[in-house]
Amino acid sequence: MNHPVRFGRLGYCRLRCPDLAASTAFYRDLVGLTVARESESEVWLRCSDKPADIVLEAGPEAGLAGIGFELESDLELERALALTDASGLGPQRLGAAELAQRHVAAAFRCADPVTGLAIEFYAGQTATTEPLTGTVAKIAQLGHVVLNVTDLDAAHRFWVERMGFAMSDRVAGLAEWLRAWPNPLHHSLALLQSDRNTLHHINFMVTDIDDIGKAMNRMKAAGVPIVFGPGRHLPSTSIFLYFLDPDGNTAEFSFGMELFEEAGARDPRELEHRADVMDMWGSRPDPRFGKGSPIVPLREVANHG
């Protein structure tokens, strides 16, 4: 396995929202995130010691406008920068103001070569000690993001062969579940072959199975569409519930996940493309499942906050 750099964790997802107030209310009141910063154009929400797990920015059309990944150290960040530079991705270092906002020592961003998505890599983040005030769910962490991509092979070449993400499982030609090596989570990123580059879903890992059941009833009471589950994924063993945010993006609560050792991990499995791989309990996805907002290419991302 080729692991040229050591990653930390998934940092954040940035969503562009036509109705910032509605999206803020959804992620605060129904998902259970804590508002950390709020302006007319941008809202930062947390479920961890990071300054933001979800960033919502006002925009004319819904979109996925960025994701962030942590590197284990400044040295690893420099290695990652060199890798993206060698790939011709033109990594740009963040300036002092952006570093200060993010409480990080160093960071750069580049465009994902397949989707154009703005990817931010950072290191040396100072933990935020402000209390979390979300009460409706006990969220452990932002778990993973899943992208629909038009060229899965090319995405594999970037994330796995270039950046050293580790494949945990795959459905040949259709799906790959990737670890941000050496992060133990079965996947921090997954890629699905599609005819469009869009967000598939954003996952929040909850600490208690009750959070899945409570979320189901909370979403139903609020008129939020539940588009898949509750069920259990075969690949990751996670129990899941998927529901839609105000822009039709799929969000997921999940409980439990297979964890991998840094060395000696099992080989990736070749899974079949079958409904019971996606849910061992027999629920079936609504047609709206995983049909999230288009990816906003980095060149069109004007405001990084």
Which of these segments, 25-33, 200-208, 258-266, 279-287, binds Fe ion (CB under 5 A)?
200-208
| H/E segment holding residue 278 | helix 275-278
Q: What residue number has its CB nearest to Fe ion?
A: 203
Residue 252 sits in the site that holds Fe ion (CB under 5 A) = yes
Q: Which 27-46 residues touch Fe ion, going by CB under 5 A?
A: none
Instruction: Between 43 and 251, name the residue whose CB sits nearer to Fe ion.
Output: 251
Which of these segments, 101-109, 201-209, 220-228, 268-276, binds Fe ion (CB under 5 A)?
201-209
| H/E segment holding residue 7 | strand 7-17
**CA 185-197-20 angle, 5° bins:** 85
Least CB distance to Fe ion at residue 45 (A) = 19
Residue 24 sits in the site that holds Fe ion (CB under 5 A) = no
Nearest to 106 by CA among 85, 127, 118, 120: 120
Nearest to 58 by CA among 289, 296, 225, 251: 296
Instruction: Between 9 and 102, name the residue whose CB sits nearer to Fe ion.
Output: 9
Residue 120 sits in the site that holds Fe ion (CB under 5 A) = no
Peptide bond into 182 cis (omega under 30): yes
Q: Kindly provide the b/e burial profile for residues 72-96, where b requires at least 16 CB atoms within 10 angstroms of the residue's own CB.
A: bbeebbebbbebbeeeebebeebee
**Cα–Cα dist 226/222, whole Å:** 11
Sign of CA dihedral 273, 277, 283, 288: negative
Instruction: Between 18 and 225, name the residue whose CB sits nearer to Fe ion.
Output: 225
Which of these segments, 12-20, 92-100, 198-206, 213-221, binds Fe ion (CB under 5 A)?
198-206
Which of these segments, 19-27, 223-231, 249-257, 294-302, binds Fe ion (CB under 5 A)?
249-257
SS3 208: coil
Residue 236 sits in the site that holds Fe ion (CB under 5 A) = no
Q: Name the E strands within 158-236.
A: 166-171, 175-179, 189-193, 198-206, 226-232
Least CB distance to Fe ion at residue 143 (A) = 7
Residue 48 sits in the site that holds Fe ion (CB under 5 A) = no
Residue 169 sits in the site that holds Fe ion (CB under 5 A) = no
Query: Which one of residues 203, 249, 283, 293 is an interface residue with Fe ion (CB under 5 A)?
Result: 203
Nearest to 26 by CA among 228, 188, 201, 223: 223
Instruction: Between 53 and 252, name the residue whose CB sits nearer to Fe ion.
Output: 252
Which of these segments, 20-28, 29-37, 252-260, 267-275, binds Fe ion (CB under 5 A)?
252-260
Binding positions for Fe ion, rule: CB under 5 A: 203, 252
